[in-house]
Structure 1
Amino acid sequence: MRTEADGEGGTACGALLDAGLAVARLPLEPELRPRVLMHLETATAMAALVMDFALPDEAEPAPVYRP
């Protein structure tokens, strides 16, 4: 998900990926970066759809099934 706020040549997902890799001390081969970014951007778009769905105040979480 690219926005104007992401800046030139970068994305918010790119910054998140870089920070996550640094914190976890994980290497990422440069040729794999576009694939990882694509999946991260897809997950971000899917999460936005879920978070944008308005629930009524009466909505209750489903009970936990215990056999």
Structure 2
Amino acid sequence: MAEPLDDYIDAVAKALELPIDDAWKPSVRANLAVTLKMAKMVDEFSLPDETEPASIYAA
């Protein structure tokens, strides 16, 4: 049974002409699932309209 993200992974790999070995697909799928979960958390975090972006980022 195919995982829900498999079609997406195949389509993006084809569009980018990026070959992905079948052995790597579970790892790619897991990474994408975590990325989508984090993106959902950021998207759901509400900020007031007057919030200003930080002016300087330093590492």
TM over 0.5, yes or no?
A: yes
| TM-score normalised to structure 1 length | 0.72
Give identity over the alignment, percent.
33
Alpha-carbon RMSD = 1.8
Structure 2 partner of 1:22: 14
Query: Number of residues paired by the alignment?
Result: 57
Stretches of structure 2 lacking an aligned partner (at least 5 in a row): none
Aligned-partner SS, 1:18: helix
Stretches of structure 1 lacking an aligned partner (at least 5 in a row): 1-7
Structure 2 partner of 1:58: 50
Q: Which amino acid in the other structure matches residue 2 of structure 2? A: G
| TM-score normalised to structure 2 length | 0.79
- In 2, distance between residues paired with 1:27 and 1:34? 14
Instruction: Please identify runs of 4+ aligned residues in structure 1 that moved more than 3 A.
Output: none
